[in-house]
């Protein structure tokens, strides 16, 4: 077979490169180009294969990309990197890590472009042993001072919950550039370390690195998580003073702060006056009304959106279903859900979160059997969130029989999630079945399952205060506990009786009451009463669902102190005023 002249071969390569560029968004045509490429006799050891492989990974056709890669003879590092990057970007961290292991086994030397996506995959796997092993490889190859590698390592340790290691890596960076600052602030904000994100933003300002709109959005997100209204407003005003581009993303982030901090009136004013609104703006406002117990306003705004605003997406419908759930609107919830199922728009097709919301709606309303049948009829496999919603309803309605069945299913598919063990334990404890409670605790200890630490946060005078259950490390601890003692004594005189059913320990009544009095939201409320000006509401954020006794406690405190208390727990907002709660004891 005669070889093609060099000029003709060059033209052929140019033609293929042009074809690949034109059809880079069409998987089937890419495969046809690949077949044609193989029949021309052009060597596969060239940039065309890299271009083809990259296009396949961008489109998410990883099986074909892997097949193409496996047909190569001794692929170089940049091709390994392309495959690893493809798996990582397509949310396939296990496969990305496996390719890296194969690369390591075959002694293919990694380069600075290998590790950013390998480390990202390790972070998503949540396996610290694998992450640390990769970090050792990074050190071995002398790539730990490559900025993007070190940034990804820093973020990885945040996701592992190892803030000390992430801080050490970040502080030892030779050049703290804007990308690194933003990456770490975002990682803190998204992984339960929002206080660190706000602190780091202050350090960034002091260091002389100028924030951008991405920084502002990340910090505002942290303020939303913490329920820190004052800090959020200050961050936004700082951005305006500094001339940072306050675009629609920043405006939406501030809207989320108002919503998540319980100032729904300010949120509405901001929404109304936004120069531009997109589907995120509308969805945030609808979800905010739902979370704040304003279900009628949420549904009315959704109707307005259908008439005036952008086309809703799946997030919008999540807010709509949540509004139905918080108000017990079963018929309306079914109507919206059926619309999603029957819609031809892929952007509103129900996802697992929508199924979980429907189970929550049915369960909250006492339709436990209907919720169970709904799960059995789902076209997708129910995930822990779906089963967990039903287990929560079983606990609320004391249906131990169905609860046991649901818990058995949950513990099969999510054996390491402590909250499901706790819910089942709570059901048994409420019925005084302490033998079963102890069996569950023994199983948790044996499997090393640890419950999520409960905490509450409160902001005043520009400072964020985080308190844990039984916390005695706060500088004002002595005053806090004295205040609680005075409150409880006063409350008992007007009818308050501690709900010791919220304490799931087989101990005497005095010990139960002592345990109840040190719940984190009670400590935060007492701290607020001591420090927050009387004309301002006391805003508390709780990372878990508030218990029955703390809910009753808050109602009594709002009555005897004549103060408005706002608590945002995992489920919704509770507005306590004059002895009543906005949720009407339905949460």
pLDDT in tens, 397-414: 889 889 989 988 988 888
Residues counted in the chain: 587
Per-residue pLDDT tens digits for 51-65: 777 777 888 889 888
Do 505 and 421 lie in a common domain?
no
Do 438 and 361 lie in a common domain?
yes
How far apart (Å, rounded) are the C-alpha atoms in residues 252 and 246?
10
| pLDDT at residue 115, rounded to an integer | 94
DSSP state, 546? P
Say whether pLDDT at 239 is over 60: yes
391 located within any domain: yes
434 located within any domain: yes
Structural domain harbouring 471 = 456-581
Lowest mean pLDDT among 10-19, 33-42, 192-201, 497-506: 10-19
| pLDDT at residue 10, rounded to an integer | 46
Q: Higher pLDDT residue, 6 or 287?
A: 287
**Domain's final residue, options 452, 467, 488:** 452
3-state SS of the chain: helix, strand, coil percent to 5?
Answer: 65, 5, 30
Name the nearest CA neighbour of 228 among 547, 557, 539.
Answer: 539
Helix (H, G, I), strand (E, B) or coil at 565: strand
Band (pLDDT 50/70/90 cuts) for residue 49 is confident
502 located within any domain: yes
**Sheet with 565-568, side-by-side order of all strands:** 463-468, 455-460, 538-542, 565-568, 573-577, 580-581
Angle at 21 between CA 19 and CA 24, to 5 degrees: 100
| pLDDT at residue 314, rounded to an integer | 95
Band (pLDDT 50/70/90 cuts) for residue 34 is low
Q: How many domains does the chain have?
A: 2
Lowest mean pLDDT among 83-92, 264-273, 275-284, 503-512: 503-512
Do 478 and 385 lie in a common domain?
no
> Phi and psi (nearest 5°) for 580?
-125, 155
Helix (H, G, I), strand (E, B) or coil at 273: helix
Do 439 and 543 lie in a common domain?
no
Do 485 and 388 lie in a common domain?
no
Say whether pLDDT at 71 is over 70: yes
DSSP code string of 59-79 = HT-HHHHHHHHHTSSS--HHH
**Domain's final residue, options 436, 452, 468:** 452
How far apart (Å, rounded) are the C-alpha atoms in residues 325 and 150?
44
Say whether pLDDT at 475 is over 60: yes
39 located within any domain: no
Band (pLDDT 50/70/90 cuts) for residue 75 is confident
Per-residue pLDDT tens digits for 97-121: 999 999 999 999 999 999 999 999 9
How far apart (Å, rounded) are the C-alpha atoms in residues 214 and 201?
12
| pLDDT at residue 54, rounded to an integer | 79
Do 448 and 462 lie in a common domain?
no
CB 578 within 8 A of CB 558: yes
Q: Are strands 580-581 and 565-568 parallel, antiparallel or unpaired?
A: unpaired
Structure tokens at 500: 């010791």
Q: Higher pLDDT residue, 433 or 44?
A: 433
Say whether pLDDT at 512 is over 60: no
Per-residue pLDDT tens digits for 116-155: 999 999 999 878 899 999 999 999 999 988 889 999 999 9
186 located within any domain: no
The CATH number of the domain where 372 resides is what? 1.25.40
How far apart (Å, rounded) are the C-alpha atoms in residues 491 and 472?
23
Do 436 and 518 lie in a common domain?
no
Q: Are strands 538-542 and 455-460 parallel, antiparallel or unpaired?
A: antiparallel
Q: Please classify residue 335 by burial: count the beta carbons closer than 10 Å to its beta carbon, then call 0-12 exposed, 13-18 middle and 19+ buried.
A: exposed
Do 379 and 445 lie in a common domain?
yes
Quick one: average pLDDT of 171-188? 88
| pLDDT at residue 435, rounded to an integer | 82
Say whether pLDDT at 221 is over 60: yes
How far apart (Å, rounded) are the C-alpha atoms in residues 182 and 248?
18
410 located within any domain: yes
Name the nearest CA neighbour of 347 among 431, 419, 413, 283.
Answer: 283
Do 402 and 482 lie in a common domain?
no
Band (pLDDT 50/70/90 cuts) for residue 47 is low
Lowest mean pLDDT among 71-85, 191-205, 500-514: 500-514
Contacts of 92 (CB under 8 A, 6+ apart): 62
Helix (H, G, I), strand (E, B) or coil at 212: coil
131 located within any domain: no
Do 440 and 474 lie in a common domain?
no
Per-residue pLDDT tens digits for 336-354: 999 999 998 888 999 999 9
Residue linked to tokens 């905010």: 288
| pLDDT at residue 18, rounded to an integer | 61
Do 365 and 424 lie in a common domain?
yes
**Domain's final residue, options 409, 429, 452:** 452
Most confidently predicted of 442-446, 468-472, 536-540:
536-540
Band (pLDDT 50/70/90 cuts) for residue 5 is very low
Do 577 and 460 lie in a common domain?
yes
């Amino acid at each position: 077979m005669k070889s093609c002249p060099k000029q003709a071969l060059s033209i052929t390569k140019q033609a293929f490169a042009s074809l690949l560029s034109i059809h880079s968004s069409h998987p089937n045509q890419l495969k046809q180009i690949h077949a044609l490429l193989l029949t021309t006799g052009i060597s596969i050891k060239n940039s065309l294969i890299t271009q083809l492989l990259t296009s396949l990974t961008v489109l998410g056709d990883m099986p074909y990309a892997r097949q193409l890669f496996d047909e190569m003879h001794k692929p170089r590092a940049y091709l390994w990197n392309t495959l690893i990057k493809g798996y990582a970007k397509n949310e396939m961290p296990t496969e990305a890590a496996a390719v890296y292991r194969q690369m390591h086994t075959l002694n293919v030397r990694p380069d600075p472009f290998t590790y950013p996506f390998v480390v990202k995959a390790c972070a998503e796997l949540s396996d610290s042993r694998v992450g640390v092993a990769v970090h050792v490889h990074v050190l071995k190859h002398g790539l730990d001072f490559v900025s993007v590698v070190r940034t990804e390592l820093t973020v990885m340790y945040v996701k592992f919950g190892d803030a000390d290691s992430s801080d050490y890596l970040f502080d030892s960076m030779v050049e703290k550039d804007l990308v690194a600052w933003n990456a770490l602030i975002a990682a803190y904000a998204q992984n339960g370390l929002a206080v660190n994100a706000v602190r780091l933003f202050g350090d960034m300002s002091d260091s002389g690195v100028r924030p951008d709109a991405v920084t502002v959005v990340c910090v505002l997100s942290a303020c939303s998580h913490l329920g820190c209204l004052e800090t959020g407003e200050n961050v936004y005003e700082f951005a305006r003073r500094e001339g940072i581009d306050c675009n629609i993303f920043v405006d939406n982030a501030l809207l989320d702060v108002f919503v998540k901090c319980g100032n729904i009136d300010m949120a509405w004013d901001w929404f109304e006056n936004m120069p531009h609104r997109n589907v995120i703006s509308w969805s945030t406002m609808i979800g905010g009304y739902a979370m704040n117990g304003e279900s009628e306003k949420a549904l009315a705004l959704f109707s307005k959106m259908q008439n005036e605003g952008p086309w809703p997406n799946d997030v919008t419908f999540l807010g709509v279903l949540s509004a139905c759930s918080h108000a017990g609107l079963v018929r309306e919830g079914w109507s919206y859900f059926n619309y999603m199922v029957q819609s031809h728009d892929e952007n509103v097709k129900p996802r697992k979160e929508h199924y979980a919301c429907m189970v929550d709606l049915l369960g909250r309303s006492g339709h436990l059997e209907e919720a169970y049948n709904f799960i059995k009829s789902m076209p997708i496999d129910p995930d822990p969130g779906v089963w967990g919603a039903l287990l929560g309803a079983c606990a609320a309605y004391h249906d131990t029989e169905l609860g046991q069945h649901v818990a058995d299913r949950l513990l099969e598919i999510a054996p390491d999630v402590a909250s499901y063990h706790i819910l089942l334990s709570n059901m048994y404890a409420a019925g005084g079945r302490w033998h079963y409670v102890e069996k569950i605790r023994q199983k948790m200890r044996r499997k090393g399952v640890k419950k999520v630490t409960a905490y509450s946060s409160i902001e005043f005078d520009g400072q964020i205060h985080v308190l844990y259950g039984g916390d005695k490390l706060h500088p004002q601890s002595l005053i806090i506990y004295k205040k609680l003692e005075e409150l409880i004594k006063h409350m008992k005189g007007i009818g308050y009786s501690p709900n010791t059913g919220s304490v799931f320990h087989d101990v005497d009544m005095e010990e139960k009451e002592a345990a109840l009095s040190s719940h984190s939201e009670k400590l935060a409320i007492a701290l607020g009463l001591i420090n927050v000006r009387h004309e301002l509401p006391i805003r508390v954020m709780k990372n878990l669902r508030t218990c029955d006794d703390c809910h009753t406690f808050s109602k009594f405190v709002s009555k005897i102190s004549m103060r408005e208390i706002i608590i945002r727990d995992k489920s919704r907002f509770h507005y306590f005023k004059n002895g009543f709660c906005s949720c009407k004891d339905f949460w």
